[in-house]
Amino acid sequence: MSVERSELANGLNVVSHAMPEVETVSLGIWIGAGSRSESNAEHGVAHFLEHMAFKGTARRSARDIAEEIEAVGGDLNAATSVDSTAYYARVMRNDMPLALDILSDIILSPTFDGAELARERDVILQEIAATMDSPEDIVYDLISEAAFQDQPVGRPILGTAQSVSGFERNHLGAYLGAHYHAPNMVLAAAGAVDHAVFVAEAEQRLAELSREATPRPQGAIYTGGIKRSNKPFEQTHLLLAFEAPPYRDPDYFTAQILAGALGGGMSSRLFQEVRERRGLCYSVYAFSTGLADSGMFAIHAAGAPDRADNLFSVIRDELERAAEGGFRDAEIDRVKAQLKMGLLAGLESSGARTEQLARQILVHDRVLPTAELIAEVENVRVADLQAMVERLLVSPLSLATAGPILNAAAFESVAEKFTVPASKAA
């Protein structure tokens, strides 16, 4: 595997994976700062900054940026998460310097034009309003708030209508100036890329990035809790969660495999029991997310308001059954095959590979060999999954609902069963 890594004099990590079989190149700049790096007064500024990056620089108007990349058949995009922000592009091999020049330009010299800022503020306010019409968006925001109460990591990435309405260019500039430093960034590429050429282009365009260290974000402390929205949706969306291993924890892959075994496909336990056998919902799934210092194992389902208590109860019963009886080898082998398929498929997409390279360096400060990742998956045993379920069930419950719950007393009685006796928790 032709992965190469270099470091510029200012501390910027540059990594690439040459894929001789493709004619295009995906590239991007990842910053190790997202919504969790915001102060209370900055809630939503990381996402706002990401939007404004494409709205004009000292050398290019917003229209110039769009026309230049599209003139060569390329595309640009960006994304903000809890712990990172990314700006990325995909172009044909000979247009890599142009794409890197545009990406560098929007990072180094955005103008934050007042008229553009006002227009984009309205766009983001509409984006926030749209989430209020989506029960799934609501319940996902609520579960983060419940799991990590009164912390930046538990807040909605978009911010609130109130916080976004107050942002001006100085707020965006202050966040960029504090966090967009070379040691906190990774420039990555995959596809039709020559590493030496890529590094030379980076040195030409990104050498002026600050080499100073960046502030550490507030630590994430899992608390657990309950958050509700009673908006009158047709279905009741339910999300329950527990503390899960952070992504550097030895049990991180155990949690990933457990999520697959419980709710990772049509043959998973929850899908078979909740949907196929009982018909309580259309979709049910489990997932585990990790941060540097905590994580969250969650199960999501949506069903009729008058059967929400049944849905909740069946999910709890399946967790108890897994804690008491464990799993079969065939279940675990299926999930391992799915995870390995995902890892290998990611190597066939230049975009997915670029993101993987950047995130691995931000998280682990190295590129993880695929063989090592597959070995981590293979090393998980059936007994590890049963122990993980037991570990989850002594974690404080996080519960979020969006939509009406008609049998409220019965629903609450299920929630109370998740209360951990002090002796068991100890």
Answer whether residue 111 is part of any domain.
yes
Is the pLDDT at 347 greater than 50? The verdict is yes
Same domain, 177 and 256: no
- Residue 74, domain member (yes or no): yes
Same domain as 251, residue 182:
no
If asked whether residues 129 and 175 sit together in one domain, one would say yes
pLDDT, one tens digit per residue, over 17-66 is: 999 999 999 999 999 999 999 999 999 999 999 999 899 999 999 999 99
My answer on whether 140 and 248 are in the same domain is no
Angle between helix 45-52 and 169-179 (nearest 10): 100
Domain that holds residue 146: 3-206
Same-domain pairing of 102 and 158: yes
CATH number, domain with residue 263: 3.30.830.10
Task: With respect to residue 278, please indicate whether it lies within any of the assigned structural domains.
Answer: yes
Contact by Cβ (8 Å): 166, 181: no
Catalytic, 50? Answer yes
Same domain, 184 and 265: no
Residues 253 and 166 grouped into a single domain:
no
| Given 7, 21, 38, 50, the catalytic residue | 50
Predicted confidence (pLDDT) at residue 424 exceeds the cutoff of 70:
no
What radius of gyration do the chain's Cα atoms show?
23
Q: Return mean pLDDT, the chain.
A: 95
Note whether 230 and 151 are same-domain residues.
no
- How far, in Å, are 86, 145, 193, 301 from residue 188 at the CA level? 11, 32, 10, 36
pLDDT above 90 for 418: no
Tens-digit pLDDT profile for residues 182-209: 999 999 999 999 999 999 999 999 999 9
Clarify whether residues 233 and 192 are in a common domain.
no
Whether 174 and 263 map to the same domain: the answer is no
- pLDDT tens track for 375-385: 999 999 999 99
Query: Is 346:356 a contact under the CB 8 Å cutoff?
Result: yes
Question: Residue 20: inside a domain, yes or no?
Answer: yes
- Cβ contact 208:36 at 8 Å: no
Instruction: Report how many domains make up the chain.
Output: 2
The percent of residues in the chain predicted with pLDDT above 70, rounded, is 98
